[in-house]
A and B are shown apart, each in its own frame.
Chain A
Amino acid sequence: MQRRRVLTFGSAGLGAIGLTLFAGWWQVDGPGAAQSDRLRPLALSDMNFRMVDHEGITVTPQSLVGRATMVFFGFTYCPDVCPTTLSDISLWLDDLGNDADELNVVFITVDSERDTVDAMADYVSYFHPAIRGWVGVSDQIAQAADDFRANYEKVPLEDGDYTMNHTASVFLFNPTGEFVSTIDYHEQREFAVPKIRRALKSGADTTS
């Protein structure tokens, strides 16, 4: 990319080339890169929270290390985005076939008030059996979102109830627990499954 730019702007003089290269470096590797809208999640082993899964077992991000991991934030009172994403995930898992056995799939609630262990157990039972639901107290949910660089916010509805805004991307980690990529909401399914396969194959020596 930079080589092409050099060729394109070659006749414009060395100053322009230098400026172009500098601008490219600034945006890709330099201080400008840190300004991108999204921060990378921490490695699972560097995260620091504790929750309970839908079977009542205490879980931590460290308990996921050893297998590739897919994580999605949501809440069980979510009428549109969460069931849609969970049914997408269920389809991806069907596509992966036996390879899905090598994958942790975790749905983390952002709604500490309403999502109890029982509510979560009931909810995840309608989707692919590999999906684990994690619930927790509010400060642990806040820490989890922080570690994943995810956002959520409680929003009152007109009827006195509330809904939750939340990051709807699916996070992918390799078996050693390093962040690999995200599958964004509305991303085409043909891109999603290869991304998951890449996370599954991404070994200890490949951290990108």
Chain B
Amino acid sequence: MRLTAKNTLLAGVLSAFGLTAILSAPVLAGGNDVVVEDAWSRASIGSNRPGVAYMTIRNTGNEAVTLTSIRTDLARMPEIHQTSTNAEGVSSMAPAGELEIAPGGFVALEPGGLHAMLMRLQRPMIEGERFTLTLIFADGAEKTVNVPIFGIAARGPES
């Protein structure tokens, strides 16, 4: 059967879609290119106060990844927040929105800056225990992190 010009065009478009789908595959696996280091959190007093978790999220892939949200069974409303301090020395906290991490780059969640704010705790965060926190990326990839809980006065991942 001879291909008409129209059919050729259609075939071309279809194969272009096919090619795109194949090229997209590694991007969909973007979560695999994310490495999380130095995750830690502080114990809570009861479950009325919001908890907090810190970590370094590193993108080892060749494509930018965008962290869109986080999930954990520990808190009903986990969200990445940003603390900032203005020229008058006043500290405030606000949702950080989506975080894009460049290829080879990283985002540090650390005291006084970005942090995973764990609102509506479902149970107290007890020193010595651990919990899982899932990072959700724009491409649908997920990365689950096992976070150790240190004391309330802990200062960093080595505590």
Extra A-B contacts (10), CB below 8 Å, given A77-B49, A88-B155, A166-B90: A81-B111, A83-B153, A87-B153, A126-B153, A157-B119, A159-B119, A161-B50, A185-B89, A185-B91, A186-B112
Contact of A169 among B45, B49, B89, B152 (CB under 8 A): B89
Question: Is the CB of A174 closer than 8 A to any CB of chain B?
Answer: no
Closest chain A residue, CB of each to CB of B118: A79
A to B CB contacts below 8 Å, 19 in the list: A37-B88, A77-B48, A79-B51, A80-B111, A81-B112, A87-B154, A88-B155, A123-B45, A126-B45, A126-B152, A126-B153, A155-B93, A158-B77, A159-B119, A163-B93, A167-B89, A167-B91, A185-B85, A185-B89
Which 7 residue pairs are nearest across A and B when measured between Cβ atoms?
Answer: A168-B91, A165-B92, A84-B111, A79-B52, A126-B152, A169-B89, A87-B153
C-alpha gap A87/B153 in the complex (Å): 5
Residues of B within 8 A of A157 (CB): 119
Residues of B within 8 A of A153 (CB): 92
Which positions 121-143 of chain A face chain B at CB distance < 8 Å?
122-123, 126-127
CB–CB A38/B88 < 8 A: yes
Residues of A within 8 A of B22 (CB): none
**Are A90 and B153 CB-contacts (below 8 A) given A77-B49, A81-B112?**
yes
With both chains docked as a complex, state the minimum distance between the C-beta of A126 and any C-beta of chain B, in angstroms: 4
Residues of B within 8 A of A81 (CB): 83, 91, 93, 111-112
Residues of A within 8 A of B95 (CB): 158
Question: Is the CB of A104 closer than 8 A to any CB of chain B?
Answer: no
CB–CB B51/A186 < 8 A: no
Binary interface encoding of chain B residues 99-119 relative to chain A, with 1 for a CB under 8 A from any of its CBs, else 0:
000000000000110010111
C-alpha gap A82/B155 in the complex (Å): 12
Question: Is the CB of B151 closer than 8 A to any CB of chain A?
Answer: yes
CB–CB B120/A80 < 8 A: no
**Are A84 and B50 CB-contacts (below 8 A) given A159-B120, A184-B89, A185-B89?**
no
In this complex, the interface size class of chain B, counting residues with CB under 8 Å from chain A, is 20 to 34
Closest chain A residue, CB of each to CB of B48: A77
Question: Is the CB of A151 closer than 8 A to any CB of chain B?
Answer: yes
Residues of A within 8 A of B118 (CB): 79
Question: Is the CB of B3 closer than 8 A to any CB of chain A?
Answer: no
**Are A79 and B91 CB-contacts (below 8 A) given A87-B155, A126-B153?**
no
Residues of B within 8 A of A176 (CB): none
**Are A122 and B52 CB-contacts (below 8 A) given A86-B153, A186-B85?**
no
Binary interface encoding of chain B residues 117-133 relative to chain A, with 1 for a CB under 8 A from any of its CBs, else 0:
11110000000000000
Question: Is the CB of B42 closer than 8 A to any CB of chain A?
Answer: yes
CB–CB A185/B112 < 8 A: yes
CB–CB B93/A159 < 8 A: no
Question: Is the CB of A69 closer than 8 A to any CB of chain B?
Answer: no
CB–CB A161/B88 < 8 A: no
Which positions 101-154 of chain A face chain B at CB distance < 8 Å?
122-123, 126-127, 151-153
Question: Is the CB of B87 closer than 8 A to any CB of chain A?
Answer: yes
C-alpha gap A91/B111 in the complex (Å): 15
With both chains docked as a complex, state the minimum distance between the C-beta of A71 and any C-beta of chain B, in angstroms: 13
Which positions 28-55 of chain B face chain A at CB distance < 8 Å?
42, 45, 48-52
